[in-house]
Amino acid sequence: MKQDNNSKDERKLEEIEKLLKELKASDKESAVTVDEAFARPRKKRRSLGSILMLFFSLWRKSFLIIALIVILLVASLPFIAFYLIKQGSTFTEQKTSFLEQIQDLNEMATAEAYTKVIIERQDNQLFGQSIGLNLPGTKRQLLVVIPGAIKAGVDLSTVTKKDMDINEANKTATLKLPKPEFLGGAEIFFDQVEVYSFEGVFREKANITEAYELADEAKKLIREESAGQGVLETAEKNAEQTLHEMFSLAGYDVTIQFEE
């Protein structure tokens, strides 16, 4: 009995070794029949299960590798697109490709300013109605601190071929861009607004609703405050640096000029 068991184990090992050899050589052989792979019909189920397990293991590893490659490709598409511009294209095609890539960036936000503005109000009301007299108990002093942010950048959607000069031989380019500007309006962080007030005996206390009423004025002040902080100049420098890096991927040295 022991000899029979040993003989069976040896045959199983031989079958497994044979199966592994066949799988490794599958790219060189067109097919392997079931009769060639197995000696006895009663062992087909076990061998088939082994094939399926090995196939699933190989397929799962291949799937993970493919998924990782896809993720990396998607993340690097903007850089790959610029790199491919210089591969096998004519001068006209290169210029068109450069232009399309730049226009696709649309509004390129390259700087963002965070600031707080303070709005001060003083008025006289009696029973909710404004009055023109400074009667005792009707005066109120209001101080509202409003934080917010605003983005600045370059609108690249307006760039045309006339704004681009490319020297294919020297691998240089000159690009004329509009001056940086504020992109959209300011964003106000209402959850961080602080309201301070001093009311007379006939006045109600201030609340957050009054901060909403001051939103338009606050946005204007945030814009003015950010301009004074030099955010537009920062946006210009960052835009120039970003475009330098993008053109360098295609092997070009670019000079950026901003409109006056």
> What is the torsional sign of CA 61, 63, 64, 70?
positive
Contact between residue 169 and residue 235 where contact means Cβ atoms under 8 Å apart: no
User: How far apart are alpha carbons 120 and 81 in whole angstroms?
Assistant: 52
Q: Verify that 141 and 167 share a domain, yes or no.
A: yes
**Bigger pLDDT: 115 or 30?**
115
Residue 84 counted as domain residue: no
187 and 253 part of one domain: yes
User: Are residue 97 and residue 154 in the same domain, yes or no?
Assistant: yes
Is pTM, for the whole model, over 0.95? no
Q: Please check whether residues 68 and 93 belong to one and the same domain.
A: no
127 and 172 inside one domain: yes
Domain boundary (51, 75, 99) is at 75
Single residue among 42, 75, 108 that ends a domain in this structure = 75
Give φ, ψ of 70 to 5 degrees: -60, -45
| Domain interval for residue 205 | 89-258
Which residues lie closer than 8 Å to 178 by C-beta, 6 or more apart?
Answer: 154, 155, 158, 159, 258, 259
Does residue 143 belong to any structural domain of this protein?
yes
Express each pLDDT in 61-111 by its tens digit: 444 444 444 444 444 444 555 554 444 444 455 566 667 777 666 667 778
Residue whose tokens read 């068109």: 96
Residue 60 belongs to some domain of the structure: yes
Co-location of 132 and 220 in the same domain: yes
Residue 162, amino acid = K
CB 161 within 8 Å of CB 242: no
179, 130, 185, 134: which is closest to 159 by C-alpha?
179
Give a yes or no: residue 80 inside a domain. no
Task: Please count the structural domains in the chain.
Answer: 2
Q: What mean pLDDT is reported for the chain?
A: 68
Query: pLDDT, tens digit, for every residue of 148-193?
Result: 999 998 888 888 888 888 888 888 889 899 999 998 889 999 888 8
Alpha-carbon dihedral 34, 35, 37, 38, rounded to 10 degrees: 110
Nearest to 99 by CA among 38, 162, 30, 145: 162
Same domain, 197 and 168: yes
Domain's final residue, options 43, 75, 107: 75
| pLDDT band at residue 220 under the 50/70/90 scheme | very high
Q: At what angle do helices 231-249 and 77-84 cross, to 10 degrees?
A: 60
